[in-house]
A = this chain, B = another copy of it.
Amino acid sequence: MDKFDIIYGKNSVTEALIAGNREINKILISKNIHSDAKVNKIKDLAREKGIVFQFVGREKFTPYEEFNHQGIIAQISPIKYLALEDFLASKKDKFCSLVILDGVEDSHNLGAIIRTCVCAGVDGIVIPSRRNVQVNSTVEKISAGAINHIPIIKANSLINAVQTLKDNNWWIVASDGNAKDNYYDIKYDDMNFALIMGAEHAGVSKSLLKASDFVVKIPMQNNFNSLNVSNALSAIIFEALRQRIISAKK
């Protein structure tokens, strides 16, 4: 069991089955759950892919009580983190985007960020090897399976990662409440860019701000400067997507 992670919840398990990029050892389904369309889909997918599923008593779920498992868990190989160099080598022939997380600590936030990035077409998420929440069961659940659709890149040093990106003709945008420019003053449609979002409380670290090509803010109303990091990301990254879609139509 040691080499497997646990993912839980109907959506997480379904998405992992569909993505098929991680080995699934076994799926456990509670005897007590109502077999709805989602559960049937999981069974169908498992059969199709030759993956074992077992109906088990609720006592098997006792270790996972703290999670909203919906009566379904799967034993799955841990996600594979990518190295930045490998990501850059596989880069497609178009303008790409990355989101760099500088010390995001909350699993719910990381899960929501992963979902937002997949929906907005971001090409990868960079997290530091330390000082950041890692991809755990809660992150997988909150991401609603999005984790299987985007590479997670681990970097020992974000400063080095930013330098590598700059050396490869990427532009670095950092989000900071004290910036002069608003996030929509930047043109995102004619460059590879990496957007740095900071920790929930501390924001983006000074050294990364200094290394950035652009520092942008969201114009906060009501003197209330306390937007959740995933919601702040959403505002900025969908503006970048808006610009790219409009630009592609021209």
Interface on A for B, CB 8 Å cutoff?
A: 11, 108, 112, 115-116, 118-121, 144-146, 149-150, 182, 184, 218-222, 224-228, 230-235, 238-239, 241-242, 245
Looking at the assembled complex, report how far the CB atom of A98 sits from the nearest CB atom of chain B, in whole angstroms. 14
Of B146, B184, B222, the contact of A226 (CB 8 Å cutoff) = B146
Of B146, B222, B235, the contact of A224 (CB 8 Å cutoff) = B146
Given A115-B231, A116-B231, A242-B239, verify A144-B219 contact (CB < 8 Å).
no
Looking at the assembled complex, report how far the CB atom of A122 sits from the nearest CB atom of chain B, in whole angstroms. 8
Q: Which 5 A-B pairs have the closest CB atoms?
A: A121-B221, A235-B238, A234-B234, A231-B234, A119-B227
Question: Residues of B contacting A115 with CB < 8 Å?
Answer: 224, 226-228, 231
Given contacts A108-B108, A116-B231, A150-B222, 18 further A-B contacts (CB under 8 A): A112-B228, A112-B230, A115-B226, A118-B221, A118-B222, A118-B224, A119-B220, A119-B222, A119-B224, A119-B226, A145-B226, A146-B226, A149-B224, A219-B241, A228-B230, A231-B233, A235-B238, A238-B239
Instruction: Report Cα–Cα, A225/B11, bound state, in Å.
Output: 13
Main secondary structure of the interface of A (DSSP, over half): helix
| CB<8 Å pairs between A and B, sample of 19 | A11-B226, A112-B230, A115-B224, A115-B227, A115-B228, A116-B228, A118-B221, A119-B222, A119-B226, A119-B227, A120-B221, A121-B221, A150-B222, A221-B241, A227-B234, A228-B230, A230-B230, A231-B231, A239-B242
Question: Residues of B contacting A245 with CB < 8 Å?
Answer: 182, 219
Looking at the assembled complex, report how far the CB atom of A42 sits from the nearest CB atom of chain B, in whole angstroms. 17
Looking at the assembled complex, report how far the CB atom of A124 sits from the nearest CB atom of chain B, in whole angstroms. 12
A238→B218 contact, CB < 8 A: yes
Chain B: CB-nearest residue to A120: B221
Looking at the assembled complex, report how far the CB atom of A148 sits from the nearest CB atom of chain B, in whole angstroms. 10
B222→A149 contact, CB < 8 A: yes
Question: Residues of B contacting A144 with CB < 8 Å?
Answer: 226
Instruction: Report Cα–Cα, A241/B217, bound state, in Å.
Output: 13
Chain B: CB-nearest residue to A246: B184
Question: Residues of B contacting A242 with CB < 8 Å?
Answer: 182, 184, 239
Question: Residues of B contacting A121 with CB < 8 Å?
Answer: 221-222
Looking at the assembled complex, report how far the CB atom of A243 sits from the nearest CB atom of chain B, in whole angstroms. 10
Looking at the assembled complex, report how far the CB atom of A149 sits from the nearest CB atom of chain B, in whole angstroms. 5
Chain B: CB-nearest residue to A243: B184
